[in-house]
Amino acid sequence: MQNKRKTSGQVEASASASASGTSAGSKGRDKPLVCGNWKMNHNHFEAIQTIQKLAYALNSDDYHHVEVCVHPPFTDLRSAQTVLQADNIPIALGAQDCHSADAGAFTGEVSAAMLAKLDVTYVIVGHSERRGLFGESDEVVNAKARSVLRHAMTPIVCVGETFDQRRAGEAHEVVSQQLAGSLDGLDEAAVGALVVAYEPVWAIGTGETATPSDAQDMCAHVRARISQGWGSAAAAGVRVLYGGSVKPVNAADLMEKSDIDGALVGGASLNAEEFARIVNHRLYAT
């Protein structure tokens, strides 16, 4: 895998970080980030078992080369936090979503303030399933990202095009618009310290995967658009993940691309052994 430089765009956040400030989790492009999004799978007993199996499958050298994060459902977070801390497992805890408000009459919602109390590091916002199934707009995603930053966590801001948009030649335009809306009002330092996940909607859960060249093209476009809108330091610092049916068989080829800084893994992350092989992609690189 190519070496990826640490830049001045990476800054540490404090608990008093504002929405235009920086986030806590991002560690720079020198260390890939591999996140497992469990979606609506695994109860809290299964979450504990999966984390323990994953920890058994990884070693200190793996953690040295790759930052690992798991994103269980909300009901599993406390159990996951407990096992990670009790067993001193160096895996970050992530959440799949949050509400933009800190508290209020929002039945069924969970706030970033609540997640912060569970030692969550990364929060996914704007996942294609949230955008597509629940109608979340860029404005909503922006509000969520600001809330995550306000509570000193790192948002993973998701962008990506549908099959019809790609077929119409609109992929770059769609992603540019999503970035503009989802990151609106954030300053260069904040954008440089967060994570963007490019997920081709047509490849999520379908078994289809963008070729490594396709993925590189779109991730490079994300970085170029960030450079245009927020400056070169932001573009050099932001970590861009690829998410779209990432599996052990394609992880190494995807991760060797210069503008792909990690992976947002869906179904394959539910199996500890499969996910560990994705984390260990460096061992299978040709």
Instruction: Name, in order, each residue with C-beta under 8 angstroms of 79's C-beta and a sequence gap of 6 or more.
Output: 44, 45, 47, 48
- Give the span between the Cα atoms of 6 and 231, in whole angstroms: 16
State the catalytic residue, choosing from 127, 151, 221, 281: 127
Q: How many residues does the chain have?
A: 286
Q: Which helix (H) or strand (E) holds 94?
A: strand 92-95
State the catalytic residue, choosing from 129, 161, 188, 199: 199
Strand duo 33-37 + 239-242: pairing:
unpaired
Instruction: Name, in order, each residue with C-beta under 8 angstroms of 66's C-beta and a sequence gap of 6 or more.
Output: 31, 32, 33, 34, 262, 279, 280, 282
Instruction: Name, in order, each residue with C-beta under 8 angstroms of 111's C-beta and a sequence gap of 6 or more.
Output: 98, 99, 101, 102, 103, 147
Write the single-letter amino acid at 121: T
Q: What is the dihedral of CA 277, 61, 92, 196, to 10 degrees?
A: -70
Asked if 46 is an active-site residue, the reply is no
Asked if 129 is an active-site residue, the reply is no
**Residues carrying an active site annotation:** 127, 199
